[in-house]
Structure 1
């Protein structure tokens, strides 16, 4: 699979040999500034598309992408338990678990929202 680097390297080699590249199917002519710009733009879009496909494939394969959670599940449960029993404010809990106050508030908000979702009665169709 060729990358933008490979494409540009090949086109640079063609230019260094004193030749130009002209596509017969697309309006690309590397002997002009506009043609070189078009070539680089097309290459950038192709590489972007490959990257997005790679991310989608990784997600579908079950890989977790992004930053690791700053709290483990037991730590989240402990924060919820301490907050519900009044054993600390969000600021105090944040200091205790070495995370930001907003992280603690997000844990508590997500917990409240999950409790509301569980408590909502669902209407069944007869």
Structure 2
């Protein structure tokens, strides 16, 4: 909150002096975006100590150093995206899909279908017994005990 208030208070021609470069942003991308926004507003940045002590965006040299940082951040981001896509493709090729395993199983579906077909069934108790939420139950089984489309996907039938 203090940093946000400080950034809002800056006016054109001001220079933001920070102790260390890592105090301004959560990661390199956030830092680059923050400095870009400051530059658009006509606000300079001066780093007092640490690895970025030679950065002063009010000078040509400082802008050059920061531009190099920005280019490295963009390159790093693109590498991460590329590796992530390759990893996901490799996992899919091995038959693995991402995401959480479904709470509803074919056995739970059969129990839910049988229980929902009986009028004395308490939905809350059934959900606790099956370890699912009311929303999950109703997404798979209607109040009369008939399967819905999501249930048919789990048990391997085609949708009606």
Q: Shorter-chain TM-score category?
A: 0.5 to 0.7
Deviation by residue 1:51-108 (Cα, 9 ceiling, x = unmatched): 1221122123211322222233211221122213445243332122122111111221
Over the aligned positions, Cα root-mean-square deviation in angstroms equals 2.8
1:1-126 → structure 2 map (5 Å cutoff): 32-86=65-119, 88-108=121-141, 111-113=147-149, 114=152, 117-118=159-160
Structure 2: tracts of 5 or more residues without a match: 1-50, 52-63
Instruction: Please report the TM-score for the alignment, with normalisation by the length of structure 2.
Output: 0.46
Instruction: Please report the TM-score for the alignment, with normalisation by the length of structure 1.
Output: 0.56
Q: Compare the two structures and name the one with the higher helix fraction.
A: 1
Check 1:57–1:87 CA distance in 2 against 1; reply closer, same or farther (3 A cut).
Answer: farther
Verify the 8 A CA contact 1:91 1:101 in the aligned structure 2.
yes
Q: Distance in 2 between matches of 1:90 and 1:59?
A: 37
Q: Compare the two structures and name the one with the higher strand fraction.
A: 2
